[in-house]
């Protein structure tokens, strides 16, 4: 549908091609991302040795990262999914957090790691972590593939970080721009023309 590795996006319709006014520049290669996920999986395996960890994935973007992370964790893993929204089709958080899908199972008494694709302003994660803490997990930690500390407006403690990145709008590996680019195998920066 579009050229990978920084090419111009082209989307096809029945009557022709729609050209989108953005391109994607590679920020982190597929190998860099894979290597870092392995390192995080190794660290979590050491930290939770002899325990079971319960991963709570924040949909939709976090699903790509969580699947790859779970494969690299050597202790028993259970998973659940939650969907929250604060972006819509914008490139900046609206600040209004909406629970779209809640967890299927209780987290009480479990060692929980919330798995997120990116921590930006911190509003969404701050709200989500407080809500989950009230549900009585044995422990609660946060793991993110990407962290933008320069954008933080709410303090959020990130326990496991893949990469700290500059304040640029990124896509790929689950991250999207208006539901596009999630399936890129690398992290790219959207450059608008």
* C-alpha triplet 87, 177, 18: angle, nearest 5°: 135
Query: Residue 38's Cα: distance from chain center in Å?
Result: 16
Q: Token digits for 133?
A: 């803490």
Q: Which member of 80, 102, 104, 120 is catalytic? A: 120
Report the largest interatomic distance among the alpha carbons of the chain, rounded to a whole angstrom. 58
Concerning whether 120 is annotated as a catalytic residue, the answer is yes
Q: 189 with 182: CB under 8 angstroms?
A: no
Instruction: Name the residue with tokens 């969907």.
Output: 83
Instruction: Name the residue with tokens 């999986």.
Output: 41
Q: Which residues contact 34 (CB under 8 A, 6 or more apart)?
A: 68
Catalytic residue list: 120
């Amino acid at each position: 549908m579009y050229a990978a590795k920084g090419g111009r996006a082209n989307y096809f319709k029945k009557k022709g091609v729609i050209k989108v006014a953005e391109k994607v520049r590679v920020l982190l290669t597929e190998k860099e991302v894979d290597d870092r996920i392995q390192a995080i999986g190794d660290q979590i395996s050491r930290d939770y040795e002899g325990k079971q960890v319960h991963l709570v994935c924040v949909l939709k973007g976090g699903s790509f990262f969580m699947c790859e992370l779970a494969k690299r964790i050597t202790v028993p893993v259970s998973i659940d999914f939650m969907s929250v929204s604060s972006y819509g089709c914008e490139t900046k958080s609206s600040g209004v957090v909406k629970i779209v899908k809640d967890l299927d199972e209780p987290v009480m008494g479990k060692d929980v790691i919330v798995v997120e694709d990116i921590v930006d302003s911190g509003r969404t994660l701050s709200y989500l972590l407080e809500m989950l803490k009230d549900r009585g997990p044995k422990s609660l930690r946060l793991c993110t593939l990407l962290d933008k500390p320069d954008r933080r407006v709410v303090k959020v403690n990130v326990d496991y970080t893949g990469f700290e990145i500059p304040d640029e709008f990124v896509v790929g590996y689950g991250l999207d721009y208006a539901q596009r680019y999630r399936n890129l195998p690398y992290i790219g920066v959207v450059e608008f023309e």
